[in-house]
Amino acid sequence: MLMKQKQRSWLITGCSTGLGYALAEYLIGSGEQVFATARNADSLHKLTEGHDNACALTLDVNRKEDIQAVVKFVEQRGGVDVLVNNAGYGYIAAVEEAEEDDYRKLFETNVFAPVALTRALLPGMRKRGSGHIVNISSVGGMIGNPGSGYYAATKFALIGFSESLFKEVSPLGLGVTVVLPGPFRTDWAGRSLQMARHPIAAYKKTVHDRVSDMNLNSGQQPGDPARAAKAIVTALNDPTPPLHLVLGKPGLDMVREKLAALGGEFEQWADLSQSADYPESER
């Protein structure tokens, strides 16, 4: 697990804006060693300039060559203590509206890229017997909303991946945390949000009106990326870091409501659920 006493090295994806930028900025200011990455490393000049403990690296998470080059670079410098799989983007479209190329690209960035980076760095962490994987999911990884079917599927996938990974690597001295932010003031609902190219009128009230509300509220979300960054570091500094970390009160309220509803539904149908087993007399 992580040790607070020594300077840690962090590899963070998607540092050009939002939570990735805020986390890298906070860690650099705290004296940690930070490998900040973005598709264009020049966009990180302001973040890393003048800091001996920060390095900007070019990393398109969908390019195997970039992943290999970055992993080789950091391993030659002693490896990383913490990998933060933050790069990703939002996509809003009704299930019927979405085009295959669009949702496949979404899965490549939001799911398969974190998997690839995790797999590339695990051998070094395993050999050293220490390290932590942080996967940035979303409250949308527990709650499916209209228009978010494909996005939610990617974030649900990250949670399941993280839970299984935790059970595999925790006996080896490694840690895993999956982070579930609620609504934060990032570019998620702004510049980086992608939407259906050919809307279908039948989904106006369920999907399109929601998109309009999101656009109106973009930039007014209660979540503060700087405070989220501090919360993530605080959690990882704990002797027993959480496997799941929800960020923001609205997100926590939504997750609590979902868990309560899920528990109620399971209880309502418990008898029917249990009726699917062989009778005890036949086991």
Where in the sequence numbering do the catalytic residues fall? 137, 151, 155
Provide the 3-class DSSP secondary structure of residue 115: helix
Q: Are 22 and 30 in contact (CB under 8 A)?
A: no
What number of other Cβ atoms are within 10 A of residue 223's Cβ? 18
Residues 6+ apart with CB under 8 A from 182: 139, 222, 223, 246, 247, 248, 249, 250, 251, 252, 254
Cα–Cα distance, 154 to 194 (Å, whole number): 14
Order of strands across the sheet that contains 131-136: 54-58, 33-38, 9-12, 82-85, 131-136, 174-181, 244-247
Length of the chain counted residue by residue: 283
> Taking CA 209 as the corner, what is the angle to CA 204 and CA 213, rounded to the nearest 5 degrees?
170
Report the first-to-last Cα separation within the chain, whole angstroms.
42
Whole-angstrom CA distances from 1 to 33, 226, 233 are 17, 24, 14
Look up tokens 């895993």; give the residue: 176
Phi/psi at 93 (5° precision):
-170, 145
**C-alpha to C-alpha distance for 221 and 142, rounded to whole angstroms:** 19
